[in-house]
Each structure stands twice: as C-alpha cells, then as structure tokens.
Amino acid sequence: MAAMRRIGCLLARDEALPLGEAEQRALLEVALAHSPRVESAGVGLAYLDVAGLRGLFGEEREIGERLCGAAAGRGLSVRVGIAGSRVSALLAARWGDGVAVVPPGDEAAYLAPAPCSLLDLPPEMARLLDRWGIRTLGELSRLPAPALFERLGADGPRLQALARGEDPRPLRPWAPPRMFEERVEGEWAMDMLEPLIALLADLAGRVCARLERERLSADAFEWSCRLDDGTSHDGQFVPAVPTTDTGIVVHLLRAALEARPPQGAVVGVALRASPVRVHSVQETLAASSRPSPRALTETLARLAALVGPERVGIPVLLDSHRPDAMRLAPFRLAEGSEGGRRGGEGAGGEREEGKGGKARGAVLALCRLRPPRPAKVTLIAGRPVHLRSDLLAGSIVASAGPWRASGEWWLERPFFQDEWDVELEGGTLCRLSHDGSTWFLAGIYD
C-alpha cells in the first residue's frame, strides 16, 4: 500500500517586508529543520514533506504552529497550509490565516467555497470566468469537462485539476549550497594585522587545496573574525573570475582587511568559499586573450584599497523610472566576452552591417552627471534658448523635447521630470532636466 502524501506549504504573508535571497534562505532552513525533503518554489514560498512527522512534532496542526513559530523567530511572518498535494497546500495557505489543515482526501470539498482568485489567473481568463458567473473553485471544478476543453483548450482541464487540488508532481528536493570552510580557534589573541593576514593565508591555502582536489573553483569568499569582546568582524569578496589561486585570495583578503581592519583583538578566524564547477573553454584564434586573473585581481584590490570596496564594480540599472537609478555589483569577467565579434567589428576588422546592408553608424554616449548640476535656462515660447551653468554656457541653437520621466508614485514624494536634448552654438550636445521648479544640466553627450 502506497504511503499517504502530506505536503506542507510555507507562504510569506502579503504584509511582510519584501523578501530577498537571505529571507528565502531562512524560510528554507526553517522547513529543513522540520523535514528532510524541502522544495524551494520561489521567493516567499517553500514546500516540505510532513508525512511521518507526527512522532516527532505531534499532529499536523501542531506541526503548522511550530513552523509559524520557527519562522517568526527568524523575523518572518508566514501562513502554513498542509494537504495531500502542493497546489492544495498552497491554496489552503492563501485562503486561510495562520495554519490551515486539509483532511486527507477532502481537498476538492475543502477548496470548493474558495474564490477563483486564489489561482492567480491571467486577467483575460479571470474576466472570462467572471462573465460565465464562475466565482468559486467548486463551481469551476463542476463544469462539464468536454465543454470546458472545447472553449479553453488544454487550459480547461488544467484549471479544473488545480481547482480540485490535484497535483501529482513530487517534491524537488532542495539542499543548502555547499560551502568549503576552514577555521582556527585558540586562546591566543592577535591585535596586529600582519599575523592575522598570515593566518588567513594559511586557511586560504587549505580551502584552495580542497577545491582543487575536487576540481572545483570558488566564485565567492566569506571571512569572519571572532573578537575577544564576543563580537565578530565579517566580510566577503567576489573574485573577478572563479579561482583556486591562493595568491589571488590572499590579495583580496589583504585589501579587504586593510580597508576595514578589525576593531579589537582576534581570537578566532574562519574562511568560507562557495564552490562552482568551471568548464574549460578553448579560445578561438580570432579571440582576444583573457586578462590574467592575478593581474586583474591585483588591480581591483588596489582600486578597492584606494577608494573603498563599495565603489568598485560594474553599474547595474535598478527597476525604476529614474534615469540615474543604479547600484554597483561585484565585477565579474563574463564567460565568452573575449570570443567572437567585439565592438561591432568582425574578425577581419570590417564593421558589422545592420538591416538592409547599411553600415551601422556611430552612436552618441551620454555621460550623465551625478549629481546633476543646477542651471539657469531661458525659455521663449516654451522652448529653451539659452543655458548657463558652472560647466556649460551659451545659446541653444536646436532642441528636442520635452520627454516626461516619472515614477515611484507609491512613495510619499513621487518622481517626475521633463528632459530636453539641446545643441549649443559651439556644437556641444547635452541633456537638460526640469523637475517643475529647477533646471539641471543632467549630462553631456560624447
């Protein structure tokens, strides 16, 4: 006789703070502390196998309450659903408040009064069911299957199965990412930087040797120093390329510690590496050689020591309408960046042609000023005719715009501005912006 399936669902509450990778990891660790089989189903959602846990944690409602309590201890507010399948557990968690337990075999009857909105239907499908007068999952599951298939195709039977809580798919087990760690604890205390770096260099050699034995590389390192006052001094860095080179790791450790040394005597040290498998790639004859990992790392480490690690990286645009919204991400040498065509040119140096066989012309690059410079702009008939700022000044001979940029309407102070591209009498092209009260010189074209 096959064992009865019982699946638990951990669902972050809507009113909880937006979850990131750290919160999702905490959610999965809560589930893994109660069951050996856990699945990650996206940010704010995790499943676990609760079959056979009664002897450890009691009845299913008690298991759900334990999960809620453990999540609250990690700063997470969750709903818990327990049922015979993943979809029924998820729908029960969405419909309930706190802990919802669906009796075995009663998934369809339990979910029948629930609204169809629990299914996250596309807007067109939701409007169609509403026109049909279908409001609950029970009404959807009772529709004639042949007629539903004729009208909706394969989506019809799929939606009916979801409405009944039917989902035969097994859990896809998740395991915490593997980490290579070496640590040293002792009664000694180090208050000088050089002995600490020497000790970390020894740990780096051990970690890199373990990685090489398994033919792996590390794409991220974390270090932690336990201080004599009970606090810890932690840090991390990302090499430009995955590496097992002890010298590269020591260079990065030295730069990080010199930029931000521990504020106290160190009595314990740990170094962790996140392993990845890097496949060998044969470079083509037309490809430029990749930069030396050691030289690249040394350059980045020196830049980080000069200006600070938080100011070294690659710009990444944020999901915002603000034209200057960006952050710095760790610099990584992209795979395949050295091969094939580069800079719009072929292997023989010919410029790549666009559609219709026409050569692609030069493009303008906007050098954005951060922060934008205040400016005084004279208007005639609503169009700018003269600019004066601490960088540029002169008559405007041509202009294009305005273009309205706006966003963040959900915040207390929404963002909006009008932008103009203008040409000065000397031929300089620049961008102006106006936020309703003040003009700014936002950038200059190269």
β-pair type (78-83, 99-101): parallel
CA distance 153 to 132: 16
Q: Is the pLDDT of residue 340 over 80?
A: no
On whether the CB atoms of residues 309 and 236 are closer than 8 A, the answer is: no
Rg over alpha carbons for the chain, rounded to the nearest Å, is 30
Handedness of CA 141, 145, 150, 155 (dihedral sign): positive
- Confidence at residue 347, expressed as pLDDT on a 0 to 100 scale: 35
CA distance 267 to 247: 24
For the stretch 297-320, pLDDT in tens is: 667 777 776 776 677 777 887 776
Q: Please report which confidence band the pLDDT of residue 404 belongs to, taking 50, 70 and 90 as the band edges.
A: confident
For the stretch 169-189, pLDDT in tens is: 888 888 777 888 998 887 778
Mean pLDDT over each residue of the chain, to the nearest integer: 81
On whether the CB atoms of residues 46 and 84 are closer than 8 A, the answer is: no
What's the CATH code, domain 7-163? 3.30.70.270
Looking at residue 96, the DSSP 8-state letter turns out to be S
Domain ranges across the chain: 7-163, 180-276, 366-445
Task: Identify any residues that bridge with 366 across adjacent strands, giving them in sequence order.
Answer: 445
Higher pLDDT, 104 or 319: 104
What's the CATH code, domain 180-276? 3.30.1490.100
For the stretch 420-444, pLDDT in tens is: 999 998 888 999 999 888 899 988 9
Q: Is the pLDDT of residue 121 over 60?
A: yes
First to last CA, the chain: 74
For the stretch 342-397, pLDDT in tens is: 333 333 334 444 444 444 556 778 888 888 889 999 998 889 999 999 888 889 99
Q: Tokens at residue 162, please?
A: 């979801």
On whether the CB atoms of residues 269 and 225 are closer than 8 A, the answer is: yes
Task: Identify any residues that bridge with 181 across adjacent strands, giving them in sequence order.
Answer: 272
On whether the CB atoms of residues 444 and 428 are closer than 8 A, the answer is: yes
Q: Is the pLDDT of residue 156 over 80?
A: yes
CA distance 314 to 86: 40
Q: Is the pLDDT of residue 80 over 90?
A: yes
Kindly give, in sequence order, each residue whose CB lies less than 8 Å from that of residue 136, ignoring residues fewer than 6 positions away: 112, 113, 114, 115, 116
Kindly give, in sequence order, each residue whose CB lies less than 8 Å from that of residue 431, ignoring residues fewer than 6 positions away: 366, 419, 420, 421, 422, 441, 442, 443, 444, 445
On whether the CB atoms of residues 301 and 255 are closer than 8 A, the answer is: yes
Higher pLDDT, 98 or 308: 98
CA distance 434 to 329: 30
Q: Listing from the earlier edge strand, what are the strands of the sheet with 38-40?
A: 38-40, 45-49, 7-12, 78-83, 99-101
For residue 120, the one-letter residue type is: D
